[in-house]
Amino acid sequence: MNIAVLLNMVPDLVEELEIDASGTALDTQWMRYVLNESDEHALEQALLLKDRHGARVTVLALDYGEVEDTLFSALAKGADEAVKLAGLSEAPSKRAAAAAFKTALSGMACDLVLTGVYAIDDQDGHTAGLLAGLMDLPFVGVTRSVEPADGKVLVQKEYAGGLAAEIEVSLPAVIGVLSAPQPPRYVPVAKIRETRKTRKLTEQDITGAESLPGPTIRRMFKPEAAEHAQMLEGSPEDVAKQIVMILAERGLVP
Amino acid sequence: MSPSGQDIWVYAEHQRGVLSSVTYELLGKARELAGALGGRAVAVLLGDGVHPLTATLGAADIVIAVEAPSLAEFTPQAHAAVLRALAQSRAPRLLLFGATSSGMDLASLLAGSLRIPLIVNCKTLTAEGGRVVATSQLCGGKLLCEADTGDGPAVVTVISGAFPAEQGVSDRTPQVEVVPLPVALDTVRMRVTRLLEPAPGDVDIAKAPVLVAVGRGIQRADNLPMAEELAAALGGTVCGSRPVVDQGWLPLSRQVGKSGMIVKPRLYFALGISGAPEHVEGMKDADLIIAVNSDAQAPIFSVADYGVVVDMFELLPALTQELGSRKTAAA
Ligand SMILES: Cc1cc2nc3c(=O)[nH]c(=O)nc-3n(C[C@H](O)[C@H](O)[C@H](O)COP(=O)(O)OP(=O)(O)OC[C@H]3O[C@@H](n4cnc5c(N)ncnc54)[C@H](O)[C@@H]3O)c2cc1C
Ligand SMILES: Nc1ncnc2c1ncn2[C@@H]1O[C@H](COP(=O)(O)O)[C@@H](O)[C@H]1O
């Protein structure tokens, strides 16, 4: 089975987010990026399929942020090929990303496309489903498990309250992963460094991808908390006393 | 696609014969928008044997119902194919979905295949003159983005709980238009093979009066005993956010939020939880929420009653000790 895993870089929320001068976008000048969490699970899901059933895993990512680290790390974890897609602006819209991935995938032999189902910076859509819509491929999102079954796949799609449905999907298909059946594997930095020396990234140009209509962004801003917690200040011991008082008033401690 | 009319469509989501509450939340909003734009609020109900559900959709001006055995169990492909065909022939101004598991799939598929704009995770939707403006929540609640949905058609997903359900509930009997399958579904390449019930947990966190919830801020499984000690001192139960469960540090039965349990304890102690909308959905109705987070900007502080900006590993020992000495004093 040939599996393509689409990896997306998203803003690192540990850093303070800034809005740019236009007031309609994040300021990317100093922005740090991390790999979208559910994409990390999509990669793990692909590698599990490879380990257990055999597969060729190709990872693809758009070229912005520290994407090379991400791609080499994927190779170090066990991906067979890593493709860097050039030609899009930094932090592109989700529809531009979906169209770019469509262009990249159209020349590839691929049975299964795995990608995260949801990214923290989604505004004009979720890449996985948009891509499936553009490519007219079967799609199931919000999955927690993908298993091969007679040339098809069985996926578990999560609903609210812990309910899930098992769905059988013919290939080729796009599957949106929320989490893999086990935590993403860890790869030591030394091994990534080693991979940088011994492996090469494939580069592909995706200029000329389809341009899709999207919403018109009027402004991007930080929310002003309408309601805010009453903050407790002081040393840990002081704060502990205050908390116990609050609990005592409510009869939550003796 | 042809130029759109002014109708506002709501995808009527249901599971196990019950419409989900987000459907009513959306219908109330659809009424308001349709009123402002001069269109109709339309509920679109797909399934098999679902006609009885139309009775509770009285807030809609009209219910479009499509019934077929192949729509009985939800699959994104079959439901998207039907919605796509209906939207192409009837050209609504907006198609509204809950930002739920099925809603996210359908909205993206439709926007991609019809090549129309999509806005996701909205908290507000307002008509301004002839425009409809949507505000999305992103970056775990740290940013808002206001966007014009365009002249239509466009697709919008809305966060559960963003609008009151009451406006979408009516005891009127709605007009129902039963529509035959508008598209052959023999090319659908997926089917539901079974439903998987949540594994019963060792405890039912929805029944626990006191919950100590840990998030990614707990950093390692080794640190969990600190939270367990606090829970023991409070007579409470430990639960967590999704990343903690995904790491395997707590069982799925202890997950609070959109894909876990909805809880309403007397006390919810949030430790190292950022307050992402998917988590908040599961705990916002707790009687008392105390949040501990090292980041003063964490969105959890706009949900909590009391907040402390501190490294939890500094506060926890002091708090557990304080609770212990109070108990000793009381005994
Ligand atoms: C379809 C879908 C369903 C989802 N369902 C759920 C769900 O059911 N439940 C759920 O929880 N999430 C769910 N999520 C995930 C959700 O979007 C968030 O990713 C998740 O809630 C974040 O968990 P967190 O707050 O523990 O982690 P983070 O967002 O990483 O936050 C960790 C916090 O810990 C703080 N911190 C770090 N170190 C310390 C310290 N030493 N002391 C104090 N504070 C510290 C940080 O400041 C930060 O605020 C879902 C997502 C999707 C897409
Ligand atoms: N939005 C939806 N519309 C229709 N069916 C759905 C939707 N979401 C989930 N379902 C399915 O509806 C089925 C209800 O079947 P039952 O339990 O027999 O009433 C469940 O099995 C779900 O798979």
Residue A164 buriedness (CB in 10 A; 0-12 / 13-18 / 19+): buried
Instruction: Read off the tokens for B78.
Output: 């079959």
Least confident among A77-81, B91-95, B139-143, B288-292: B139-143
Return the DSSP state at A82.
E
Angstroms from A198 CA to nearest CA on chain B: 31
Are the Cβ atoms of A162 and B252 closer than 8 angstroms? yes
**SS3 (DSSP) at A114:** strand
Q: Which long-range contacts (CB under 8 A, 24 or more apart) does B322-325 make?
A: B322/A237, B322/A240, B322/A241, B322/A243, B322/A244, B323/A244, B323/A253, B323/B230, B323/B233, B323/B234, B324/B233
Residue B2 has a pLDDT of 53
Report helix, strand or coil for A182: coil
Q: pLDDT value at position B81? A: 98
**Inter-chain touch B144–A223, beta carbons under 8 Å:** yes
Confidence band, pLDDT 50/70/90 cuts, at residue B105: very high
- How far is it, in rounded angstroms, from Cα B116 to Cα B154? 6
Question: In terms of DSSP bridges, do strands B41-47 and A216-221 run parallel, antiparallel, or are they unpaired?
Answer: unpaired
Q: Residue A49 burial (CB < 10 Å; 0-12/13-18/19+)?
A: buried
Cβ B239 vs Cβ B255: under 8 Å: yes
- Token pair for B113: 């295949």
Q: What pLDDT shows up at residue B203?
A: 85
CA of A55 to nearest chain B CA: how many angstroms apart?
22
Q: Is the preceding peptide bond at B200 cis, omega within 30 degrees of 0?
A: no
Does B121 score more than 70 pLDDT? yes
Closest CA to A157 of A130, A123, A129: A129
Q: pTM here? A: 0.92
Predicted confidence (pLDDT) per residue in B1-34, tens digit: 556 799 999 999 999 899 999 999 999 999 999 9
Cβ contacts of B128 within 8 Å, gap of 6 or more: none
pLDDT the model gives residue B288? 98
Give the nearest chain A residue to B142 (CA atoms).
Answer: A222
DSSP B214-266: E-GGG-SGGGHHHHHHHHHHHT-EEEE-HHHHHTTSS-GGGBBSTTSB----S
Touching check for B302 and chain A: CB below 8 Å?
yes
B150 touches A: beta carbon within 8 Å: yes
Q: Is B233 left (phi over 0), alpha (psi -120 to 50) or beta?
A: alpha
Q: Do A132 and B108 touch (CB under 8 A)?
A: yes
ipTM: 0.90
CA distance B97 to B263: 24
Residue B49 reports pLDDT greater than 80: yes
Q: How many CA atoms lie within 13 A of B197 on its CB side?
A: 4
Q: Do A167 and B253 touch (CB under 8 A)?
A: no
- What percent of chain B has pLDDT above 90? 90
Contact indicator for A26, A17 with CB cutoff of 8 Å: yes
**Beta-sheet strand order (sheet of B143-148):** A216-221, B143-148, B131-138, B118-128, B154-158, B94-98, B8-11, B41-47, B62-67, B175-178
DSSP letter assigned to residue A237: H
Cis peptide before B265 (omega within 30 of 0): no
Residues of chain A scoring pLDDT < 50? none
How far is residue B85's CA from residue B182's CA, in Å, rounded to a whole number? 6
Whole-angstrom Cα distance, residue A143 to residue A179? 7
Query: Which positions in chain B touch A166 (Cβ < 8 Å)?
Result: 192-196
Q: Are B54 and B174 in contact (CB under 8 A)?
A: yes
The mean of the pLDDT values for chain B is 95
Cα distance from B47 to chain A (closest Cα, Å)? Answer: 16
